[in-house]
Chains A and B, each alone.
Chain A
Amino acid sequence: MDGLLLFIAGLIASSAVAMVVGISFALILPGIERKVQARIQQRVGPPILTPGWWSVLKFMYKSKVEPIAQMPAFYKSLVLIGIVIVSFLLLFVTPYWWSILGWGSILGIAGLLKLEEVLYVLMGSQSQSIMSSSMPVPDLAKGSKFIGIRREFNEQHSAERSLKMMAIGSIPLYLGLVVPFIAAGSGMLNAVVSLQNPDYIVSNWMAIPIPSKPLLFTIPGAMGAIVYFLGFVMLMNEKPFSILKAKIDVIEGGVLEYASSLRAAYYLMRNLLMFSLSSIFNTLFLGIPFDPFMPSMMLINMLLSLIPVVSMATLAAFSPILTFRQIYPAAMGISAFGVLAMILASSL
Chain B
Amino acid sequence: MIQEKQTEKKVIEKELSFGPVHPALVEPYRMRFFVNDEIVEDCEININMAYRGIEKLFEGLPVEKALLIAERVCGICSNVHAWNSVRVIEGGLGIEVPQRANYIRVLVHEFQRITSHLFFFGHAFEVLGHETFAMRSFLLRENFMDLLQYVGGNRVMPSVPIIGGIRPRADLNESLKKVITERVDAFESKYKDYLNRAVEDPLVMSRLSGIGYLTKEDALKFYATGPTGRSSGWNYDLRREMKEYKPFDYDVIVLNEGDTKARVVSRALEVLESLKIIRQIVKGLPEGPVVNRSWVAKKMDYTVSYVETYRGELMHSYGLDQGGFIRNYKIRTPTITNLAAMEQACIGDHVTEAILTIASCDPCLTCCTRTEVIANGKSRIMSDAEIIQRFGWRK
Contact = CB atoms under 8 A, between A and B. Distances in A.
B352 A248 contact: yes
Interface stretch (A86-94, A143-151, A269-277): A143-151
Output the residue of A138, A145, A149, A157 with the most chain B CB within 10 A.
A138
Contacts, number: 139
Given A154-B16, A324-B38, A43 B203 contact: no
Contacts of A240: 129, 203
Contacts of A160: 38
B131 A321 contact: no
Contact of A149 (B34, B136, B379): B34
Contact of B350 (A43, A154, A324): A324
Interface of B: 6, 12-24, 30, 32, 34, 38, 42, 44, 46, 49, 125-132, 135-136, 139, 201, 203-204, 206-207, 350-353, 355-356, 374-381
B368 to A, nearest CB: 14
Given A137-B30, A140-B379, A152-B15, A321 B128 contact: yes
A131 B204 contact: no
Given A138-B379, A139-B46, A141-B379, A323 B350 contact: yes
A150 B34 CA distance: 10
Interface stretch (A60-68, A216-224, A312-320): A312-320
Contact of B16 (A135, A138, A152, A323): A152
Q: Pick the 10 closest A-B CB pairs, nearest first.
A: A321-B129, A248-B24, A320-B128, A320-B130, A138-B379, A141-B379, A140-B379, A150-B14, A138-B374, A320-B129
A132 interface: yes
A248 B38 contact: no
Nearest to A143: B381
Given A137-B46, A239-B129, A249-B24, A325 B353 contact: yes
Interface of A: 37, 40-43, 131-133, 135-142, 144-146, 149-152, 154, 157, 160-161, 239-240, 242-243, 246-249, 251, 317-326
A243 B14 contact: no
Nearest to B376: A138
B355 A151 contact: no
A40 B207 CA distance: 22
Contacts of B139: 42
A248 B126 contact: yes
B196 to A, nearest CB: 15
Given A248-B356, A322-B206, 7 more contacts: A142-B44, A239-B129, A249-B355, A251-B22, A321-B352, A322-B207, A323-B350
A146 B132 contact: no
